[in-house]
A and B are shown apart, each in its own frame.
Chain A
């Protein structure tokens, strides 16, 4: 669903009511992009308003250049969010497991959920291309609120054009394996399509052997 540009001034439930509710049917799954939920919750920071400390500057040097946390600004935002002690602990333990066991990704597992959800500058469509965008707060509550208000199943998803799909939260009736398959090709796009809401609907005609694959 094409929407206006969603900003921290918007109420996500009102956006859904305006742009998606008229098209929702019983049995649908409403899927929302995680960055949009985060932006509507005001979870954006300009790098100009972040002062990276010594730890953030040090750790960012050891992250792959393509990772969001390779920027000391994004690293500092994560340290503010998850706590300095936790991030320092995660860094040293993950360094050890990488050197001794050759295992990757422990930093993101230990440093908290936000460390893998944060998008650095350039990671979002304008006007949020100039912001660091954190992951959404309490995504489970958001999907439950959607289900209670609109009567459909809901999920918050982090999908990209690289085929990586991560479901942050989903109501009980969502078939998560199906969603991962559907979003592997990222039908909502990853640029400035302005399509943060996706309605997933079972095509009964196609399912019963018809030719319409809609």
Chain B
């Protein structure tokens, strides 16, 4: 009698666990990523008089998962290119394209619904204390690393994405030079 009861209880527990596991699997989770392979509207503009280079692009922020997720924090930073970086001030800002750009670059936490995509604008201003041609010689391609924090049903995760700006195309060009 006891044995039958234990077998029945184990069978019930096993069935329940299996059903929950199947339900969790069916529900899935969010899968949010900065699609840096699909970057668009890239522009790099030189302002030689102010020794500045302005870089801008739009990056799709996409949820390919089966649940919505929240992008709570996003930070970006340029890669380190050695001593030339000491002569540069690089200001970077990110925003959802539908939101106004905040001067401080504050990222407001956002929900990304399943199977949707939002465009994110990345802006960089490079201010140089040395000749811009020297900067471009040392940094022909500027890589920007984006760190983003996703809160979803399965937990909190930090992800990383990379995008690049081609500064080399500005080499030898004058004020207002622009490339895409």
| A122-B156 contact in complex given A73-B151, A130-B73, C-beta closer than 8 Å | no
Interface readout for A107-151 with B: 1 if CB under 8 Å, 0 if not? 000000000000011100011011000000000000000000000
- Would you give the shortest CB distance from B109 to chain A, in whole angstroms? 4
Q: Which of B39-54 contact A (CB under 8 A)?
A: none
- Would you give the shortest CB distance from A72 to chain B, in whole angstroms? 6
Q: How many residues on A have C-beta within 8 angstroms of the other chain's C-beta atoms?
A: 19
Considering the chains assembled together, what is the distance between the CA atoms of A112 and B51 in angstroms?
61
Considering the chains assembled together, what is the distance between the CA atoms of A73 and B23 in angstroms?
20
Are B23 and A126 in contact, with the CB atoms below 8 A? no
- Provide the residues of chain B in CB contact with A71, threshold 8 Å: 70, 151, 153
| A61 partner, pick from B23, B151, B155, beta carbons under 8 A | B23
CB pairs A–B below 8 angstroms (6 shown) = A58-B20, A65-B67, A71-B70, A121-B109, A121-B151, A122-B70
Are A126 and B108 in contact, with the CB atoms below 8 A? yes
Are A126 and B106 in contact, with the CB atoms below 8 A? yes
Considering the chains assembled together, what is the distance between the CA atoms of A127 and B104 in angstroms?
13
Interface readout for B101-122 with A: 1 if CB under 8 Å, 0 if not? 0000010111100000000000
State the B residues within 8 Å of A (CB).
20, 23-24, 27, 67-68, 70, 72-73, 106, 108-111, 151, 153, 155-156
Interface readout for A30-65 with B: 1 if CB under 8 Å, 0 if not? 000000000000000001100010000110110001
Are A122 and B20 in contact, with the CB atoms below 8 A? no
State the A residues within 8 Å of B (CB).
47-48, 52, 57-58, 60-61, 65, 70-73, 120-122, 126-127, 129-130
Are A61 and B72 in contact, with the CB atoms below 8 A? no
- Provide the residues of chain B in CB contact with A129, threshold 8 Å: 72, 108-109
- Would you give the shortest CB distance from A207 to chain B, in whole angstroms? 40
Are A60 and B70 in contact, with the CB atoms below 8 A? no
Considering the chains assembled together, what is the distance between the CA atoms of A127 and B102 in angstroms?
13
Considering the chains assembled together, what is the distance between the CA atoms of A72 and B155 in angstroms?
8
- Provide the residues of chain A in CB contact with B27, threshold 8 Å: 61
Considering the chains assembled together, what is the distance between the CA atoms of A127 and B73 in angstroms?
11
Considering the chains assembled together, what is the distance between the CA atoms of A36 and B151 in angstroms?
24
